[in-house]
Amino acid sequence: MRYWGYLAAKLAGAGLMLCGIAAAVLAVLPRPAPIRGLVDDPFGHSLGYTVGIMFYTVASAMVLLLIVWDHRYRCRTCMRRLRMPLATGSWTQVLLSRPRTEYICPYGHGTLKVEELQITGHAEPDWQANEDMWKELLKK
Ligand SMILES: [Zn+2]
């Protein structure tokens, strides 16, 4: 729950920031006069205005993409960036051990396994939470 709440908070923050940037872009871009009084919406009719809005749209999509990409490689427990990518498997033995990359939380909360080979469609990364290290030590 904390993992999704952190993503929602980042998206809300980015939304507020992008709304501020949109207000600044609309204030900077002069709204052109209507063409012969017929066209009121300058988008698609004024080159400068249209290109400005298109750049803003692409930049906004990139910000959202970076947020989602960054969030995929965070620990589900402590929200820290996952570290130490380890390539496992083999590209020459795809059927027996498929190539994948494993990332771990620096505090040992879990492991994220990302498939490198997507033969049968998109495979979601597999998060495996580790048990508490002290519980494992006290069992023996
Ligand atoms: Zn962690």
Domain boundary among 38, 72, 106: 72
| pLDDT at residue 8 in the model | 94
CB-based burial label for 140 (10 Å; 0-12, 13-18, 19+): exposed
Ligand 1 centre to CA of 13 (Å) is 23
Q: What are the tens digits of pLDDT across the range 85-124?
A: 999 998 888 888 889 999 999 988 999 999 988 888 888 8
In whole angstroms, give the CA distance from residue 47 to residue 32.
10
Same domain, 98 and 68: no
Specify whether 65 is located in the same domain as 10. Answer: yes
Is residue 25 scored above 90 in pLDDT?
no
Instruction: Work out the pLDDT band at 29, boundaries 50, 70, 90.
Output: confident
All residues with CB under 5 Å from ion ligand 1? 75, 77-78, 105, 107, 109
CA 78 to ligand 1 center in whole angstroms: 4
pLDDT for residue 140: 63
If one counts the domains in the chain, the total is: 2
For residues 6 and 77, the answer to whether their CB atoms sit within 8 Å is no
Q: How many A from CA of 117 to the centre of ligand 1? A: 26
Query: Whole domain around residue 39: which residue ranges?
Result: 2-72
Give 35-88 pLDDT, tens digit per residue. 666 667 777 778 888 888 899 999 999 999 999 999 999 999 999 999 999 999
Q: Separation of 88 CA from ligand 1 center, angstroms?
A: 21
The pLDDT score that the predictor gives to residue 101 is 95
Residue 113 lies in a domain: yes
Q: 76 with 127: CB under 8 angstroms? A: yes
How much distance in Å is there from the Cα of 41 to the middle of ligand 1? 50
pLDDT at 35: 66
> How far apart (Å, rounded) are the C-alpha atoms in residues 107 and 131?
12
CA of 107 to the centre of ligand 1 (A): 5
